[in-house]
Structure 1
């Protein structure tokens, strides 16, 4: 993007100016703010819980709380600590969500010359577009809200039908989606990779064919929400051919970035789309006064927590993600994990990016291996031996030599994380343990939580054993 720092400064001034007469603006002296430094003095970094007193007023239907007027929508999302979260989407912020998704596709067409997919059928595997009301404001899942704004030139070819899309039960909905799509000329398929994989698996069960033979026109896969790498091998094996893909980085809080080229690593950060970004070095995030950097101050190869200020009325808001910049001309990033999803039971601070890279390495050395899903948890007090990390993996195809697979996982993790290496070499931790889970364990676990399908994801790793114990309980039931 041309002059990114100037674009960000313009958005900063515009956002503060627009919100000076809101309750939040009055409470934080927006009328006195002249500079980004003034803003940081007045507005602390917050997460949803910290902003909740304001959001509760918005949800109750009060106007002019975080942004002028009332939001157009409230995006309903699951919080790890907050229960259901309601994220405002305003008349000013909706173009960020809609135009960014459109631009990702148009950019792809411009770069590749491949626009033929628009003439065939498209599917967006998403949550229900059915909306409720809170305080007179339409409320629903982000993917359902966005569904109401799909451009007319795409809507005529879009599947599934509205009647199918509003089905709540994921498995019933999936069967209906297959009924509607299996004989159609599908060209673009979009969704979170594990749920797309489930869609493909069901089609294979029904037809006995590779996806390329069921959908010969399928040429573009659009995805977001999780790192694609652990799913890539199995997904393309199921498809039976390579197809182009576009990675996107949408969140209820804002559309952050999208893949703007098929030839370079990373996603283009959207710096001129209603969001003023700040970045906190990940290692400083939990300090009392961490540095808050503007786009011009970030460095390549470092992990940052993403903070957004936007025209939906989110201020100093931590979205919980960590990113790493891989390019500054233009600014491209990769998502490296969640600021609160890590294992540091012994001070190792292993993050999502590291476990994903370790798994990628082990799978490359054991190419027969296909992974459905995985998560990692600490085992602080094992029945015998030293503490360790437990990797719970559901394989579609397990490694021929599990012990060698574990050694490769562990050796790569020690290379990626010096603290983990110190704990292993110092005999404080022993080599990680692998627990292979039966087929459908993750699916049944998510189903037990009422989070099957849609935009729901299993965290890659956690600092306690809540998820691990839940998965093991489900696995035990399948053996009984």
Structure 2
């Protein structure tokens, strides 16, 4: 065992004790975070607007600060983007994480000097908990690859901005820099196909022990490695035994990965977002990820089936139950207040608090990290048919993750036409172009040849009614989901 590997075990034990300390007193930990957030932000514009000076409990907070999504918080964010200080959080942000928007273009999520370390520490602690849990630490002597966005950043009114993964690349600890791959120059390559080839070239002869990234992107990297060498990834990297991922459900990819690697490897699931690093898998033999209660984030939870009622009850950590769908509401030391992240979670454990991501409060597709929402597909349909005589009865969209042969995955649009287009391929092209314009993640996946362009599958007339009838939801207030993140609906429609 090397000195580095031995030191990692000692550090892992220290960090585990710290985690156990706050995890054993969750309500006290969250109340401490809450008080610190309110105190710190009471003199900001948002704090003054919402009477933070007279808030002393989470109940008072819930009565004074309504739940908001990005669009509703945008007037405050716009002032920050314009360079104003003390708006949502004291001073100016260190960075803006620029993400795909929904109704108003790009979203600018603030990252502050207080919030930035929580992203870095959570990612580090996920690895340290794995070391403590398994006793495995030899991998720290090998090479580690983190497939991520370009670390080259833009600037807006004196504040750096870019994708979160690119920003985080500037904070990789010094003790990991020597082991970290790919090189800075390769990481800065914007074109994904070019970048993957460069990554393959840099890593194919290295002792890779840890590989991290969104599964769809890593799968492409594995396939390129196999194409170049004719070997399984596990043969190329005999000491590769840890895969770290987040952003999408890994289960649809697991069998494919094991085939590409040639064996099973350990994995660590993460729950990161531009808005915060919320949870990570702390035990290999436990379902769920440890909710980060001591990371500058105050959590509230609303039962998903009550979320759209007039005044849904906002629960704190001590009030939640197992196996119930909750919408997760966050207030953070980056200045997001009662912010609806859009994710739904379920608790798999209450001692300590572990969660799984169960979906989104609105229908969506993110099988590959694209975060396509209903508004985007509906707008694409409107734009593609507005100057035509095509008439649509109903449609829904599902991901096709495992197409036949060597095809790339794609979005499959199931459309029931009242009047069909003369050229269905032209309609598919127009839909795809509109979706790419609206959603930068989808655009990147198409450009990077992770996805091929969408395909249309016509549904026989009356097909959607037949489907709704088959599940007992024909008529009334029942609506067909516009998007699915799986193929449950698609599998029925395929048989019509």
User: TM-score, normalising length from structure 1?
Assistant: 0.76
The answer on whether the counterparts of 1:372 and 1:394 sit within 8 Å (CA) in structure 2 is no
Q: What residue number does 1:451 align with? A: 444
Matches within 5 A, 1:231-250: 231-250=253-272
Matches within 5 A, 1:231-270: 231-270=253-292
What secondary structure sits across from 2:106 in the alignment? strand
Provide the alpha-carbon RMSD of the alignment. 3.3
Q: CA deviation at 1:61?
A: 1.1
Q: What residue number does 1:32 align with? A: 54
The 3 A distance-change label for structure 1 pair 196 and 280 is same
Q: What residue number does 1:464 align with? A: 482
The answer on whether the counterparts of 1:305 and 1:339 sit within 8 Å (CA) in structure 2 is yes
Matches within 5 A, 1:9-24: 9-24=31-46
Q: 1:140 aligns with which of 162, 181, 197?
A: 162
The answer on whether the counterparts of 2:155 and 2:161 sit within 8 Å (CA) in structure 1 is yes
Q: CA deviation at 1:391?
A: 4.6
The answer on whether the counterparts of 1:107 and 1:260 sit within 8 Å (CA) in structure 2 is yes
The 3 A distance-change label for structure 1 pair 16 and 467 is closer
In structure 2, C-alpha distance between the alignment counterparts of 1:177 and 1:171, rounded to whole Å? 10
Q: What residue number does 1:332 align with? A: 354
User: TM-score, normalising length from structure 2?
Assistant: 0.73
Q: CA deviation at 1:289?
A: 1.0
In structure 2, C-alpha distance between the alignment counterparts of 1:457 and 1:14, rounded to whole Å? 44
Q: What residue number does 1:199 align with? A: 221
Q: CA deviation at 1:39?
A: 0.7
Q: What residue number does 2:84 align with? A: 62
Unaligned runs of 5+ in 1: 343-350, 357-370, 399-441, 469-480
Once the two structures are superposed, what CA deviation does each residue of 1:346-394 show, in whole Å capped at 9, x if it has no partner? xxxxx99xxx9xxxxxxxxxxxxxx999999999xxx9xx979665524
Moved over 6 A (4+): 371-379, 386-390, 444-448, 456-459, 465-468
Q: CA deviation at 1:80?
A: 3.0
What secondary structure sits across from 2:193 in the alignment? helix
What secondary structure sits across from 1:450 in the alignment? helix
In structure 1, C-alpha distance between the alignment counterparts of 2:440 and 2:97, rounded to whole Å? 22
The 3 A distance-change label for structure 1 pair 264 and 465 is closer
Q: 1:320 aligns with which of 322, 342, 346?
A: 342
In structure 1, C-alpha distance between the alignment counterparts of 2:371 and 2:337, rounded to whole Å? 34
The 3 A distance-change label for structure 1 pair 313 and 388 is closer
In structure 2, C-alpha distance between the alignment counterparts of 1:20 and 1:390, rounded to whole Å? 45
Matches within 5 A, 1:370-385: none
In structure 2, C-alpha distance between the alignment counterparts of 1:38 and 1:374, rounded to whole Å? 34
In structure 2, C-alpha distance between the alignment counterparts of 1:78 and 1:184, rounded to whole Å? 35
The answer on whether the counterparts of 2:214 and 2:369 sit within 8 Å (CA) in structure 1 is no
The 3 A distance-change label for structure 1 pair 65 and 249 is same
Q: What residue number does 1:299 align with? A: 321
The 3 A distance-change label for structure 1 pair 228 and 466 is closer
What secondary structure sits across from 2:34 in the alignment? helix
What secondary structure sits across from 2:444 in the alignment? coil
Q: What residue number does 1:160 align with? A: 182
In structure 2, C-alpha distance between the alignment counterparts of 1:447 and 1:66, rounded to whole Å? 26
In structure 2, C-alpha distance between the alignment counterparts of 1:396 and 1:239, rounded to whole Å? 20
The 3 A distance-change label for structure 1 pair 99 and 326 is same
Q: What residue number does 2:120 align with? A: 98
In structure 1, C-alpha distance between the alignment counterparts of 2:199 and 2:270, rounded to whole Å? 23
What secondary structure sits across from 2:171 in the alignment? coil
In structure 2, C-alpha distance between the alignment counterparts of 1:374 and 1:65, rounded to whole Å? 28
What secondary structure sits across from 2:402 in the alignment? strand
In structure 2, C-alpha distance between the alignment counterparts of 1:237 and 1:291, rounded to whole Å? 46
Q: CA deviation at 1:281?
A: 0.6
The answer on whether the counterparts of 2:234 and 2:240 sit within 8 Å (CA) in structure 1 is yes
Q: What residue number does 1:393 align with? A: 400
